[in-house]
Structure 1
Amino acid sequence: MKTRVVSFGVLAFVVVLLAQCVNHSAPEGLFNCQTSAEVSFATDVQPILQSSCAITGDGGCHDGGNGASRDWRVFSNVQSHALQIKDRVTRPAGASGHMPKIGTITDAQIRTLVCWVEQGAKAN
């Protein structure tokens, strides 16, 4: 009988441990871009960058103050860093390198950025 109790205890521990490794806050299909309409840089992506990344003043990390190549007001800079942007916005909040550093963006905005990158980071 003790063997079953110990086995159950170990199993319960493993289940709890694995459950902690899953981000339960991410909605199902958040990054499924295969069924999405084409994302427009000018209409969809640029407004997110302007309001959350390339803002001037307090915390505007990508307004040119951290180097010309990190100025998200310049399309070619955004396009050449598209994969890094996707990586940074999909990191869990509080993780090293998570963006935006100040404030938040919505799941819909994250999905927009991810899908734009996955659709080829077009100048559209």
Structure 2
Amino acid sequence: MKNLKLLLGLFLVLAVGACEYDFVAPEEIPDIPVEEDLSFATDVLPIFTANCASCHNSGGRAPDLSAANAYQSINTAKYINRDNPESSLIYSYVKAGASTHTHAQYTGAQGQYILVWIQQGAQNN
């Protein structure tokens, strides 16, 4: 019985000591000035390619966010609201923490890039 208690105590010490805790710092959302020119091709399209295009592609779910068709597919009032960028579906539907989208979501930083790009006029540049 004494050996069992000793083994159990040793097990608990090793088990607790082996626990590793990774504390994740909150994501820093960049403060992108509206004056900083963002490019659809280099700042926004890579976000769609990494997060969305595997499902939203030619023959897949709308909008088609493949590299060849993304801008044409989202350049409508349905997805981009230039008067009220925060309500743009391409931004608000999948931003971090949105409860309406059940699949991939943008990180806060990615969402910020998309929002600022829309605020700048959502150009195909």
Q: Give the structure-2-normalised TM-score.
A: 0.56
Query: Would you identify which runs of 4 or more consecutive aligned residues in structure 1 move more than 4 Å?
Result: 30-36
Aligned pairs (5 A) from 1:71-90: 71-73=64-66, 74=69, 75-80=71-76, 81-82=79-80, 83-90=88-95
Report if aligned partners of 2:96, 2:111 keep a CA contact under 8 Å in 1: no
Matching residue within 48, 61, 70 for 1:66: 61
Matched, 1:50 2:49: yes
Counterpart-to-counterpart distance in 2, 1:85 and 1:106: 14
Unmatched 5+ stretches in structure 1: 1-24
Task: Report the CA distance between 1:102 and its aligned residue.
Answer: 2.6
Identical-residue share of aligned pairs (%): 29
Of structures 1 and 2, the larger Rg is shown by 2
Counterpart-to-counterpart distance in 1, 2:50 and 2:32: 23
CA deviation vs aligned residue, 1:3-55 (integer Å, no higher than 9, x gap): xxxxxxxxxxxxxxxxxxxxxx897xx59654451110000101110110111
Residue 51 of structure 1 aligns with an amino acid whose one-letter code is: A
Q: Give the structure-1-normalised TM-score.
A: 0.57
Task: Report the CA distance between 1:78 and its aligned residue.
Answer: 2.1
Aligned residue pairs total: 87
Distance 1:116 1:54, change over 3 A: same
SS in 1 for 2:36: coil
